[in-house]
Amino acid sequence: LVSLYASDNNITSLDVSHNTKLGNLTAGFNQLTSLDISNNIMLRWIEAQNNRLTGPVPNYFLGKTSYRNLSNN
């Protein structure tokens, strides 16, 4: 799995931790409260806007992605 589109589904959890080849993740407009991407070493694009994510953005996350949208969390 290299791309996952899971937006607009009202999901509350999403486990992508075993998808190490995931490069693109679109999971906006859901009800996610956390999102662990620490094992997704190929991830370059992430959209997770309009969820319920809280807390600081981890440093490892900032360095690995070329595009990220985490607005309205």
How far apart, in Å, are the Cα atoms of 47 and each of 7, 18, 38?
9, 19, 16
pTM of the model: 0.90
Q: What is the pLDDT of residue 65?
A: 85
Dihedral over Cα of 31, 34, 39, 40: its sign: positive
Give 35-70 pLDDT, tens digit per residue.
Answer: 888 888 899 999 999 999 988 877 777 777 889 999
Q: How far apart are CA 29 and CA 20, in angstroms?
A: 24
DSSP string, 42-68: T--EEE--SS---SPPPHHHHHH-SEE
Give 34-43 pLDDT, tens digit per residue.
Answer: 988 888 889 9
Q: Which of 2-6, 25-29, 38-42 has the lowest mean pLDDT?
A: 38-42
